[in-house]
Amino acid sequence: MGIAIITSGGDCAGMNPAIKHFVDYCFIKGKQPYLIYDGLEGLIDGNIKKAKHSDVAGILHQGGTIIGSSRSQRFFEYEYRKKAFEHLKSHKITKLIVLGGDGSFRALKQFYDDFGIQFIGIPATIDNDIFGTEYCLGVDTALNTIRNGIDAVRDTSSSFKRACVIETMGRDSGYLALISALTSGAEVCIIPELEYDLISLGEKLKDQMVHGRKYIVCVVAEGTKQTHNILNWLENDLHIEARATILGHIQRGGNPTVYDRLMAVEFVTFAIDQILNSKINDGLVIVYKEGKFDFKTIDYINSATYSVKPTLLEMAQNMTK
């Protein structure tokens, strides 16, 4: 029976290394790998092909996903899930590896409940907001992209004695902004997980400016929707020229870091071994926590909301008040 891989939802660096290793490792295990193109929409439309080594040669260094992705409203409807199942059945595919986030995993859990197609989810989202795992594919590359952006903006800010406001992605999670602020020497960090006091921050920064501070770096998580407010605060309250930079979707792309490539190989290896060698009574997600890989049920993954480590939040207190 065949085994297929699908990428669903937002793309991220690390997906292509995972796809390549999926194909290579399936052949090592004596299984025919299949590629599902264009995510859940492609699954509905039957855009499924047998994979060859040549399909994945030379993709390790590429960001994004060569097999495409999508967000599918149609998959919420049973008739389209039935079509997707028929396409898999025609290829004798009984097992799926899914690269995506919690929404993708929930969709495949419903698919399993409907038709019994076994799957293992691999967390792949730069938001790093999936409960139960400390790491998702793409996060390290995104953080390095943000680091490069902050370093570049800091250079020009220091030249003109300006403040800079850098907005990061992350949906409702402040993880990217928090780690970036901590590792870039930012003076201000605004994230959903922490309350902030602009009056206190302002007094502290004004004092530093009197004593020689020439520029200010502020990192703001998109989930706070505070980028322009922070910009106005800098100019109107602190009386320093300021510029805002919204990094946007460059955080999803780019050359995958060594760490993301390695994690892709490890995630895929353990996922394939698990799905081939054990009886799965439900959809599973492979997680990485405290330096170890483990498997959790979708119900467990959905049982709580991801939260940033309290120790990391504590380290950021000086950037919020």
**Active site positions, annotated:** 127
* Non-local CB neighbours of 121 within 8 Å, separated by 6+ positions: 98, 99, 100, 104, 105, 108, 283, 284, 285, 286, 298, 301
Measure Cα distances from 74 to 65, 87, 90, 114, 238 in Å.
21, 15, 20, 15, 50
d(CA 65, CA 59): 9
In 196-278, which residue ranges form alpha helices assigned H by DSSP?
198-210, 227-236, 258-277
* C-beta of residue 321 within 8 angstroms of C-beta of residue 313: no
Query: Per DSSP, what are the bridge partners of residue 36?
Result: 48
Listed residue (116, 114, 175) closest to 140, CA to CA:
175
Dihedral sign from CA coordinates of 127, 133, 139, 143:
positive
DSSP 3-state of 158 = helix
Amino acid identity of 227? Answer: T
Can you tell me the distance from the alpha carbon of 307 to that of 201, in angstroms, rounded to the nearest whole number? Answer: 25
Output the six-digit token pair for 232: 């106005």
Look at the alpha carbons of 43, 47, 49, 53 in this order and tell me if their dihedral is positive or negative: negative
SS3 125: coil
